[in-house]
Chains A and B, each alone.
Chain A
Amino acid sequence: MPDETKSQSTPPPDGEPKPTADQPETPDGVKSTPSGSVQSETKTTPNKPSPPSETEGPPKAAAPGAPKPAAPAAKPAATAAAGHPAPPKPTGPAPTPWDSPLVAKYKRQYGSGITALTHLGQNYFEVDRSLIPEILQLLRNDEQFDYCVDITAVHYPKREKPFDVVWILYSFARNERIRVKTQIADGEALGSSVPLWATANWLEREVYDMFGIKFDGHPDLKRILLPEGWKGHPLRKDYHILQQDNEWVQINLGIESGQ
């Protein structure tokens, strides 16, 4: 059941999810909105253009007479004709450029291959895939990011390069945490970071297990949480839980699954 609701409410995740910066609604604005009214509005009129407080990108059907309860049948048709109208996205603080001596140094060295941003008080680099081994090594050896907190990935199936791979790093000496992100295409491999951080061993295995992203030079790249004969990589967005379940029930119990 939640699957269906998801497909409706999820905006097409193609491209980097970037909130439009033209209306930087402060968190206070969000808070001061009476929650009940937001709820009722979104509930009862899902096809109406955004509530007045969130007028970023109103669909073409946003006639001036929107509050009028006129021709409810025509509305869905109009919105359907206009393609997918952007669902009312809550706007939050947008990522802003991140400035620090570290960033300036890397910018000089690598130019456009590296973008430094800060969002919700957290700093991250968006790095071109080809620069990843070098950047990680520099961060580890020269900038004392000696603790690799986590390695993970995010799948955006509609994007040209559908995977974001994320390294979360921490430096004990600086008491600072940063993220390094890169985009890769399906089937592309990345260099393993096991020589830099021993902890990457299991973390990369989990990324491989869940997303099918390969890491060159990993000492033992195999599935970690799922059994070896498992088909597919579950955290990809196109992996359907029910299909897997039906198949298992059919093979092992010989009946139709009740799901």
Chain B
Amino acid sequence: MTDPRTLAPPSLETHVAAHDETFLDSNELVINMGPQHPATHGVLRVILRLDGEKVLGLECVIGYLHRGVEKIAENRTYTMFNPYVDRMDYVAAVSNGLGYCEAVEKLLSVEAPPRAQYIRVILTELNRIASHQLWLGTHALDIGAITPLFYTFRDREEILKIFEKYCGARLTTHAFRIGGLQYEAYDGFEADVKNFVKFVKPKIDEYEELLTTNRIWLERTKGVGVISGKDCIALGVTGPVLRASGVKWDLRKAQPYANYKNFNFEIPTGENGDTYDRYIVRMIEMRQALRIIEQAVEGIPEGPIMAKVPKVMKPPVGEIYHSIEAPKGELGYFIVSDGSTQPYRVRVRPPSFVNLQALDLMCRGQLVADVIAVIGTLDIVLGEVDR
């Protein structure tokens, strides 16, 4: 059997054509992975078609965590639905909240005051680091490196402490309100953030020391789960996965929201679109997030933290699509208002759901063990996939 690693990366054309192949083959084995599998990051079930160790194709079965978030939204007021969005991508709850609040603010034609914007950016970027740290720890654990897990969880704890001091919750923070913030930054918030930045910078170097040139890590990630930029765009894949395939696109730069246009940062890109490049891109993103935090924490203006919004929110009739760059990719909210206190329809465009669709293409021709690596590198959260 040829080594699957020497195969050319699959293209979308062959991928589409392969769907028409006959399913039965004398060499073919169909096995079921999950939903109760530690490396699927939740309850993802994958049906694998194998030729020995080589993956011929796979199908994802999802929905085990479906809670009908979009239906719930139609039965809640705009304010009441706000905490629900935290429970979708529960490792990046702050980003979800930012997207939702900004979408409703656009519908109401209000804008959060500058002070709120700055605090929002700081918390969102802290959350991006926390999300990437959790990704790194679990992803490395999946493919055999146990140590990074302890490192990243230890350091992520510092971020969660800041969240807890700020709003009382560690994960499902509900940090933002429509129109701004509920809580003023506590005394010593700025010092805490500055200390964290100082604390975590060398820690990111430590993660890199453990992995970047580690021979086992290289073997497990180089050339694994390759996807081209063209295929990413066709499949709607966004976030670090898209950037690692060489497409320099980040919503914070392309269509700036919040006040990201005030900050200097770079968009890292990869070249090969493999698991290793995605790792490098996310490591650089953590450092860039720190850069943004450093600038933001120096410049927090004085002023109110809430815009004037009515207590009973009745956005005018209309619809809006607003999306932000969440740690996983483009997170969008499509909200239709009929002028009442409850949204007529809320559609969430989840990055994890759309990115997961690329799993099939990325795993073709790889080994079974690489499927684990690719699931990890896609950085999915099943709470968001299933909603």
Pairing of A with B: yes
Q: Which residues of A contact B (CB under 8 A)?
A: 2-3, 5-6, 9-11, 13, 17-19, 27, 30-33, 35-36, 38-39, 42-43, 87, 89-93, 95, 119-120, 122, 146-150, 152, 154-155, 166, 168, 172, 175, 177, 179, 197-199, 201-203, 210, 219-220, 223-227, 234-235, 237, 239, 241
CA distance A36 to B254 in the complex (A): 39
User: Which of A17, A120, A152 is within 8 Å of B338, CB to CB?
Assistant: A17
Q: Which residue of B lies closest to A121 (CB)?
A: B106
- Contact between B309 and A91, CB atoms less than 8 A apart: no
CA distance A210 to B68 in the complex (A): 10
Chain B residues with CB below 8 A from A33, complex form: 310
- Contact between A150 and B334, CB atoms less than 8 A apart: yes
Chain B residues with CB below 8 A from A93, complex form: 109, 316, 318
CA distance A89 to B110 in the complex (A): 18
Known A-B contacts A152-B334, A172-B247, A198-B234; the reply to A92 vs B340 at CB < 8 A is: no
CA distance A93 to B255 in the complex (A): 22
Chain B residues with CB below 8 A from A90, complex form: 314-316, 339
Partner-binding segment picked from B25-33, B92-100, B183-191, B319-327: B319-327
Q: Which residue of B lies closest to A16 (CB)?
A: B317
CA distance A184 to B233 in the complex (A): 28
Known A-B contacts A6-B340, A227-B63; the reply to A95 vs B318 at CB < 8 A is: yes
- Contact between B110 and A10, CB atoms less than 8 A apart: no
- Contact between A120 and B109, CB atoms less than 8 A apart: yes
Q: How far is the CB of A159 from chain B (nearest CB, A)?
A: 12
5 new A-B contacts at CB < 8 Å, known A11-B339, A35-B310, A198-B357: A17-B344, A19-B339, A89-B317, A150-B321, A241-B75
- Contact between B76 and A2, CB atoms less than 8 A apart: yes
Q: How far is the CB of B12 from chain A (nearest CB, A)?
A: 6
Q: Which applies to chain B's interface (DSSP): helix, strand, loop or mixed?
A: loop
Chain A residues with CB below 8 A from B320, complex form: 120, 122
- Contact between A234 and B109, CB atoms less than 8 A apart: no
At the interface, yes or no: B215 with Cβ under 8 Å from chain A? no
Chain A residues with CB below 8 A from B332, complex form: 149-150, 168
CA distance A148 to B238 in the complex (A): 11
Query: What are 15 sample pairs from A and B whose C-beta atoms fall under 8 A apart?
Result: A6-B74, A10-B342, A11-B340, A33-B310, A35-B309, A90-B315, A90-B316, A92-B317, A120-B320, A147-B236, A149-B236, A168-B321, A203-B236, A224-B62, A225-B62
Q: How far is the CB of B232 from chain A (nearest CB, A)?
A: 9
- Contact between B318 and A36, CB atoms less than 8 A apart: no
Q: Which residues of B contact A (CB under 8 A)?
A: 12, 16, 19, 62-63, 66, 68, 70-71, 74-77, 80, 106-110, 231, 233-237, 247, 249, 254-255, 307-312, 314-321, 323, 330, 332, 334, 336, 338-342, 344-345, 347, 349, 353-354, 357, 386-387
CA distance A92 to B315 in the complex (A): 8
Q: How far is the CB of B249 from chain A (nearest CB, A)?
A: 6
CA distance A106 to B344 in the complex (A): 31
Q: How far is the CB of B348 from chain A (nearest CB, A)?
A: 9
- Contact between A147 and B76, CB atoms less than 8 A apart: no
User: Which of B106, B235, B237 is within 8 Å of A120, CB to CB?
Assistant: B106
- Contact between B110 and A27, CB atoms less than 8 A apart: yes
CA distance A30 to B108 in the complex (A): 9
Interface centre among B237, B317, B320 (most CB of A within 10 A): B317
- Contact between B71 and A234, CB atoms less than 8 A apart: yes
CA distance A3 to B74 in the complex (A): 9
